[in-house]
Amino acid sequence: MKTFLSIGAGPGMGLATAERFAREGFRIVLSARNAGKTDALAGELRAKGHTVETRTVEAGDPDSVAALVAEVEQSFDGIDVLHYNAAAMRQARLADQPRDTFNGDLTVNVGGALAAAQAAVPGMSGRGGTILLTGGGFALQPHPDYLSLSIGKAGIRALAQGLFDSLKEQNIHVATVTIAGFVSAGSKDAEAVAERFWQLHDEPRETWSLETVYTP
């Protein structure tokens, strides 16, 4: 059974994407900081007959992210799809952003994705795999009310662009869905984003895409 690891699993796009891959026969591993909420999401998937595991991870701690990837790889003989969905959704303008929070926000928004990719690539190399990154429209049009998130999503997009060609040579597909708008949990938009992630993963290697932009 193939394994899909979600880092930063939440009730919106994270859950919808996990369920989309579960319908294709993947074992799902949901991970986030709040174990209770993650267990509740897992229960929703198990009620539909899917195979689901849960883990706890701190996306703002690169060591925690790397340890999670290593443990999941060892437990299930590899990770086939890694989905980085964590984000610090801070609403703050320049004058409102506490100085001691920006670096933490940036670590969650993009640093954790880098740590996850670093940890996953050695196991995926040659064997193949997919690294999916949840992007955002603020990467294209930064918003003064969401400065740290805008910078983080720009970083996610740059990370995907920077890794795409070199990791393709190792048979690893890096791709991002840039979501240009708000997506609520349980919505048709969440399902549509999940479908975009599935389509990216399912592309033949010769036509691999780097990015899909979705506008709710």
Please write the tens of the pLDDT for every residue from 115-154: 999 999 999 998 999 999 999 999 999 999 999 999 999 9
Q: Is the dihedral of CA 69, 71, 75, 77 positive or negative?
A: positive
By the 8 A CB rule, do 84 and 8 touch? Answer: yes
Confidence bin at 18 (pLDDT 50/70/90) = very high
Helices (H), 10-61: 13-22, 35-46
Query: Residue 26 above 90 pLDDT?
Result: yes
Q: What is the mean pLDDT of residues 18-31?
A: 98
Rg (CA), the chain: 16
By the 8 A CB rule, do 177 and 196 touch? Answer: yes
Q: What is the mean pLDDT of residues 38-60?
A: 98
Domains identified in the chain and CATH numbers? 3-214 (3.40.50.720)
For 187, residues 6+ apart whose C-beta sits below 8 A from its C-beta are: 12
Provide the mean pLDDT of the chain: 97
Q: What is the mean pLDDT of residues 55-67?
A: 98
pTM across the whole model: 0.97
Confidence bin at 201 (pLDDT 50/70/90) = very high
Residue-level pLDDT at 126: 83
